[in-house]
Chain A
């Protein structure tokens, strides 16, 4: 796979960075059983961020896969899922905390465990948010790439353990300039008693512009209107839109 930038996040690790619009961002599981918790913000207005309810209800879905658009709380398309080998990514289970991580995997400290210290989503997010001028107040329901959590008729949430295989990947196309905040920590509903040890590789490349036959654009009429909102925003800012329509 070609790329202009590549980074591996080890298990327990975190990363934040700004990725401009019109890029393809591919996350690849280096082993089976991956989970990477993701928060997304508009670089130019950090109060605009990924919105789980708006994303789900606009597309009448409780899971995310190819064709779905990640929508902001301002009705715009932040990014679209342009490829996905796994068919289901979670956005309703949240992220781990220190107390949950200790409870599930046993207490660990850096003093004893050094780089095997079991870190958690809340603290990873908090550190990377502060680095970017935000605080824990800005944590919102996040994406959990590579995790499948389905609900039965009674609403009980079920984590599927064998969902993610080594080499599975998902590619997001950025529709706006985005701040990514990432934590490679387990899904809070993961049933395994052992802290997963799965590195994630991220590659970033240029994406082709959005054409009139784009899969994500045409996935639902709601998606097209979210793209149109993003393009209007670009035009008012004096940016060229990334669409070829």
Chain B
């Protein structure tokens, strides 16, 4: 088991400029200015906040999972991780984390991948990539399915073994755990609060997340 790097934030919610709860199955899109901080709180625990990042100055430049993990030589995201775009631009840095491990290899659920993973009859079920597309379609007409890059799954534990196995595990996140990140450059954050009902990692019970933003210190 990895040694968790638990780092609490000094920021006080009373000083926040934004505080919203996003229900399971809903999407959210917001621009962070450099120095602003976003905290994602797993209100009830064991939820997955599927999150994508875009360079707000170049909408086509999206988060790169492989560049981010190869750059730090480690597949898990936690305090200290700098999330990079496709072009290598630094988007945000994780500055506090009471969960300790976040996944970026597992990607987001989709109607199509649900048919492969679970059963053909899951096709009509709600899923994160549909939520991403709905948010992107409302944000800017330049976005297309090409912009759905592999994302971050905050609060999700997807252990990889030395022999090359990969599993979806429970037990890392708990009620009130949070992750906090500061924008290094202007960054669009896109979240799908995962509606997955087929996966034991949220105990078949998707729950709300709370999103809190502070201005630069």
Contact = CB atoms under 8 A, between A and B. Distances in A.
A152 B163 CA distance: 9
Contacts of A225: 115-116, 119-120
Interface string B134-178: 000000000011111110000000101111111110000000000
Given A94-B70, A188-B70, A226-B116, A155 B165 contact: no
Nearest to B72: A157
B106 A140 contact: no
Contact of B113 (A54, A138, A139): A54
Interface string A1-31: 0000000000000000000000000000000
Given A92-B66, A93-B70, A140-B149, A56 B166 contact: yes
A155 B100 CA distance: 12
Given A93-B66, A157-B73, A189-B70, A52 B166 contact: no
Nearest to B199: A57
B150 A51 contact: yes
Interface in A29-71: 47, 51-54, 56-58, 60-63, 71
Interface size for chain A: under 10, 10 to 19, 20 to 34, or 35 or more residues?
35 or more
B131 interface: no
Contacts of A76: 112
A97 interface: yes
A189 B73 contact: yes
Contacts of B88: 97, 99
Contacts of A92: 66, 69, 75, 105
Given A93-B66, A139-B86, A54 B2 contact: no
Given A56-B105, A155-B76, A141 B66 contact: yes
A154 B87 CA distance: 27
Nearest to B148: A73
A141 B110 contact: no
B159 to A, nearest CB: 8
Contacts of B167: 60
Interface in B56-86: 60-62, 64-67, 69-70, 73-76, 86
A75 interface: yes
Nearest to B73: A157
A75 B113 CA distance: 5
A52 B105 contact: yes
Nearest to B123: A75
Interface size for chain B: under 10, 10 to 19, 20 to 34, or 35 or more residues?
35 or more
A54 to B, nearest CB: 5
Name the residue in B111, B115, B120 with the highest tally of chain A Cβ atoms < 10 Å from its Cβ: B115
Interface string A174-216: 0000000000000011000000000000000000000000000
A114 to B, nearest CB: 27
Contacts of B160: 62, 151, 155
Contact of B116 (A139, A152, A222): A222
A137 B147 contact: yes
B162 A57 contact: no
Name the residue in A58, A92, A153, A155 with the highest tally of chain B Cβ atoms < 10 Å from its Cβ: A155
A240 to B, nearest CB: 21
Nearest to A52: B150
A73 B109 CA distance: 10
A71 B86 CA distance: 21
Contacts of A58: 113, 116-117
Nearest to A74: B112
Contact of B2 (A47, A63, A93, A154): A154
B107 A157 contact: no
Name the residue in B60, B65, B160, B161 with the highest tally of chain A Cβ atoms < 10 Å from its Cβ: B160
Interface of A: 47, 51-54, 56-58, 60-63, 71, 73-76, 88, 92-95, 97, 99, 135-142, 150-157, 188-189, 222, 225-226, 228-229
Interface of B: 1-3, 60-62, 64-67, 69-70, 73-76, 86-88, 101, 105-108, 110-117, 119-120, 129, 144-150, 158, 160-168
